[in-house]
């Protein structure tokens, strides 16, 4: 499958081939919702994943565009040197601010979740809600993408600056979260939204509470599910002998295979690996096998810390501040 590495369309799965090594990054642990879907959906089609959660500088949602672009440039530089074949921007704030720049300058194809989500919702719904970070909403990332496909769609974008910090504190199932979500749910109901896009990759971790508050009247859309299906379709088309049965016409596209475990992954955080692993367990419902620590300064290192040999045999790199699996 041939691709133009410097001008890859946003949100497409065509940049990822069978057996690819996929890099992902997010401002924190939210991108694990994307990694979860890709890991489960692609199965043996994707050999392994490299994930970076920039927890030390999370959240990104209220930072300046200059700061976000700088952070993204550092992370993409580092991931690009870890023998990856493609990079997924598993952070919609980063995609909204720096997606175009990253796609032009990265060494490998770069894709995000915005375009593939706009394709589906523009085709299926007329009144579309979006809940996202303040920066993503200010940039109108989703509404612009939807209106490029159909200018007649009514899009309600709601900034939710308080949700990411609560999730990162491990309080996704708490009275504090329910109170924070209620005001957004009430507005979506008042606006008569038919569907709501979970426009921050942290938000699938609170979809159960949101569904309850929406009284099952509004369909939740998890962009990670759509991206995983898009990639799976692309791989199946190129490799019909390993075609994957697809079904994206479910009542809820928001927490599909939610308990599917992340596998074949090297996970890094710029924050505290132990804390990252503890919070990830709350969000995912199970512990990650290993979390590695990497400092912000180390993001400028060009030497791969994950070798091709490790990629081939699917082992985990051991670093001094690694947090191994525990019961």
213-229 confidence digits (pLDDT tens):
999 899 999 999 999 98
Catalytic residue among 58, 91, 160, 283: 91
Catalytic residue among 58, 160, 200, 283: 200
User: What's the predicted TM-score (pTM) here?
Assistant: 0.86
Q: Which CATH number fits domain 115-224: 3.30.465.10, 3.30.200.20, 3.40.50.1860, 3.40.50.620?
A: 3.40.50.1860
Give the span between the Cα atoms of 194 and 220, in whole angstroms: 9
Q: Calculate mean pLDDT across residues 123-132.
A: 97
User: Residue 118's pLDDT band (boundaries 50, 70, 90)?
Assistant: very high
What are the structure tokens assigned to 258, written together? 């939610």
Q: Pairing state of beta strands 86-89 and 46-53?
A: unpaired
Q: Is the dihedral of CA 8, 11, 14, 20 positive or negative?
A: positive
Mean pLDDT of the chain: 85
pLDDT (0 to 100) of residue 257 = 47
What HEC string does 35-89 produce? Answer: HHHHHHHHHHHEEEEEEEECHHHCCCCCCCHHHHHHHHHHHHHHHHCCCCCEEEE
260-281 confidence digits (pLDDT tens):
688 889 999 999 999 999 999 9
Enumerate the domain spans of the chain.
Answer: 20-113+230-313, 115-224
**Cβ-count burial 183-219 (b if 16+ within 10 Å, e if not):** ebbeebeebebbbbbbbbbbbbbbbebbbebbeeebb
- Asked if 74 and 296 count as a contact pair (C-beta separation under 8 A), the reply is yes
- Asked if 95 and 11 count as a contact pair (C-beta separation under 8 A), the reply is no
Report the share of the chain in percent with pLDDT over 90: 67
91 classed as catalytic: yes
User: Residue 70's pLDDT band (boundaries 50, 70, 90)?
Assistant: very high
Measure Cα distances from 77 to 38, 49, 102, 106 in Å: 22, 16, 10, 8
The answer, yes or no, to whether residue 190 has pLDDT greater than 80, is: yes
CATH 3.40.50.620 fits 20-113+230-313, yes or no: no
């Amino acid at each position: 499958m041939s691709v133009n590495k410097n001008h890859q369309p946003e949100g497409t799965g065509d940049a990822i081939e069978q057996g690819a090594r996929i890099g992902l990054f997010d401002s924190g642990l939210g991108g694990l919702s994307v990694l979860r879907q890709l890991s489960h959906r692609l199965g043996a089609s994707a050999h392994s994943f490299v994930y970076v959660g920039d927890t030390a500088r999370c959240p990104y949602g209220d930072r300046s565009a200059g700061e976000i672009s700088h952070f993204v440039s550092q992370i993409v530089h580092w991931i690009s040197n870890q023998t990856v074949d493609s990079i997924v921007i598993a952070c919609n704030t980063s995609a909204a601010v720096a997606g175009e720049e990253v796609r032009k300058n990265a060494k490998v194809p770069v894709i995000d979740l915005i375009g593939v989500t706009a394709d589906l919702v523009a085709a299926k719904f007329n009144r579309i809600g979006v809940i996202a970070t303040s920066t993503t909403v200010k940039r109108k990332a989703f509404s612009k993408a939807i209106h490029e496909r159909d200018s007649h769609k009514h899009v309600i974008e709601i900034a939710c600056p308080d949700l990411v910090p609560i999730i990162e504190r491990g309080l996704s199932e708490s009275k504090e979260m329910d109170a924070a979500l209620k005001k957004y749910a009430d507005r979506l109901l008042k606006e008569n939204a038919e569907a709501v896009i979970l426009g921050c990759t942290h938000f699938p971790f609170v979809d159960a509470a949101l569904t309850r508050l929406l009284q099952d009247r509004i369909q939740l859309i998890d962009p990670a599910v759509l991206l995983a299906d898009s990639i799976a379709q692309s791989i199946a088309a190129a490799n019909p002998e390993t075609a994957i049965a697809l079904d994206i016409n479910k009542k809820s596209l928001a927490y599909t295979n939610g308990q599917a475990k992340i596998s074949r992954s090297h996970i890094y955080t710029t924050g505290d690996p132990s804390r990252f692993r503890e919070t990830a367990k709350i969000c995912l419902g199970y512990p990650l096998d290993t979390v590695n620590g990497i400092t912000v300064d180390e993001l400028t290192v060009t030497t791969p810390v994950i070798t091709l040999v490790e990629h081939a045999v699917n082992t985990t790199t051991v670093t001094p501040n690694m947090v191994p699996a525990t019961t």
